[in-house]
Structure 1
Amino acid sequence: MTDLNLIDRQMKVMLQRCTRIALLGTVLMLSSSPAYAYYGIAEYVSALVAFLVVFDFIIYGATLGIIIFTPLGRKSFYGAIWAASGLIALALYLLDLDTLFAISFLWPPLLLVWVLINLFHEPAMAERRKLMGRVFLSRNPDSMVIDHLAFWLFMLFAQGISLVAFAVLADLSQWVIQSPRDFVIDFFLNRWTWFWLTLVALVASLVVWWIRRPVNLTVLLALCAFLVLNAYSGWFNPGLMFRSQQWSANFVGFDMVDQVLKDSDEVIVVEINGDARAFPDLFITQPHIAGDIIGGEEVVMTYCGLSHLGIAYAPFLNGQRLDLKVMSQLENNLVMWDAVTGIPIQQISGKFERQSERAKEYPHFRMTYGVFKKLFPMGYVYYNPVASLGDQPIKHYWDHMTRLIMFHSIDFQHNDPNKPVFPTLDLKDSRLPWKEKVYGIRNNGDAVAYTKAFLTNHPFVRTKIGGAEMIIAYDAEHGVVTPFYADGYTGTSVDVYGNTDDGRKLRRVEGLLSEVFWMIWAHFEKGTDVNRT
Structure 2
Amino acid sequence: MMPNTSARPPRFTTPLGTCLRWLLILGLLLWGIPGQTQTRLNGFNLDDALIPAAELLPGGPPRDGIPAIDNPGFIDAILAPRDEVIGLAYQGETKAYPVAILNWHEVVNDYIGGQAVAITYCPLCATAVVLVAEHQSQPLTFGVSGLLYNSNLLLYDRQSESLWPQVLAQAVTGPMKGLVLPTLPLSLTSWQEWREAHPDTKVLSADTGYFRNYERDPYREYARRNALMFPIRNQSRALPLKEMVTGLVINGEARAYPHRALRNQTSPLYDTLGGERIRIETDTNGQPRFFNDKGKQLSAQPGYWFAWYAFYPNTQVWEIVPPAR
Q: Normalised by the size of structure 2, how large is the TM-score?
A: 0.76
Contact 2:234 2:311 in 1 (8 A): no
Given the superposition, is the C-alpha separation of residues 378 and 433 from structure 1 closer, same or farther in structure 2, using an over 3 Å criterion?
Answer: same
1:414 aligned counterpart, secondary structure:
helix
Partner of 1:442: 249
Query: Is 2:160 the counterpart of 1:341?
Result: yes
State the distance in 2 between where 1:280 and 1:311 align: 14
State the distance in 1 between where 2:254 and 2:266 align: 19
Structure 1 residue 269 displacement after superposition: 0.7
Structure 1 residue 403 displacement after superposition: 8.8
- Alignment partner of 2:25 out of 162, 165, 187: 162
**RCO comparison, higher one (Cα < 8 Å, 6+):** 2
- Alignment partner of 1:188 out of 35, 41, 54: 41
Partner of 2:4: none
Which has a greater percent of strand? Answer: 2
Q: Tell me which amino acid in the other structure corresponds to 1:309.
A: T
Partner of 1:523: 310
Contact 1:290 1:301 in 2 (8 A): yes
Partner of 1:358: 180
Structure 1 residue 375 displacement after superposition: 1.4
Q: Tell me which amino acid in the other structure corresponds to 1:451.
A: P
Partner of 2:88: 270
Structure 1 residue 163 displacement after superposition: 4.1
- Alignment partner of 2:107 out of 277, 285, 289: 289
Given the superposition, is the C-alpha separation of residues 525 and 290 from structure 1 closer, same or farther in structure 2, using an over 3 Å criterion?
Answer: same
1:454 aligned counterpart, secondary structure:
helix
Q: Percent of aligned positions with the same letter in both sequences?
A: 20
- Alignment partner of 2:62 out of 220, 238, 241: 238
State the distance in 2 between where 1:416 and 1:427 align: 19
Q: Which of these two proteins has the greater Rg computed from alpha carbons?
A: 1
Which has a greater percent of helix? Answer: 1
Structure 1 residue 479 displacement after superposition: 5.1
Instruction: Name stretches of at least 5 consecutive residues in structure 1 with no aligned partner.
Output: 1-27, 33-155, 169-184, 193-233, 388-394, 488-505
- Alignment partner of 1:483 out of 290, 294, 305: 290
Contact 1:285 1:403 in 2 (8 A): no
Given the superposition, is the C-alpha separation of residues 298 and 320 from structure 1 closer, same or farther in structure 2, using an over 3 Å criterion?
Answer: closer
Structure 1 residue 349 displacement after superposition: 0.4
Partner of 1:508: 297
Contact 1:283 1:385 in 2 (8 A): no
Contact 1:367 1:479 in 2 (8 A): no
Contact 2:234 2:313 in 1 (8 A): no
Q: Normalised by the size of structure 1, how large is the TM-score?
A: 0.48
Kindly report the root-mean-square deviation, in angstroms, between the aligned alpha carbons of the 2 structures. Answer: 3.2
2:168 aligned counterpart, secondary structure:
coil
Structure 1 residue 161 displacement after superposition: 4.4
Q: Tell me which amino acid in the other structure corresponds to 1:509.
A: L
Structure 1 residue 468 displacement after superposition: 2.9
Contact 1:239 1:326 in 2 (8 A): yes
Q: Tell me which amino acid in the other structure corresponds to 2:310.
A: H
Given the superposition, is the C-alpha separation of residues 526 and 480 from structure 1 closer, same or farther in structure 2, using an over 3 Å criterion?
Answer: closer
- Aligned residues between the structures: 282
Structure 1 residue 444 displacement after superposition: 2.8
Instruction: Name stretches of at least 5 consecutive residues in structure 2 with no aligned partner.
Output: 1-15, 32-37, 46-57
Encode CA deviations 1:222-280: one digit per residue, 9 max, x unaligned.
xxxxxxxxxxxx8x9534532222x41111112xxx3xx31110111110122111111
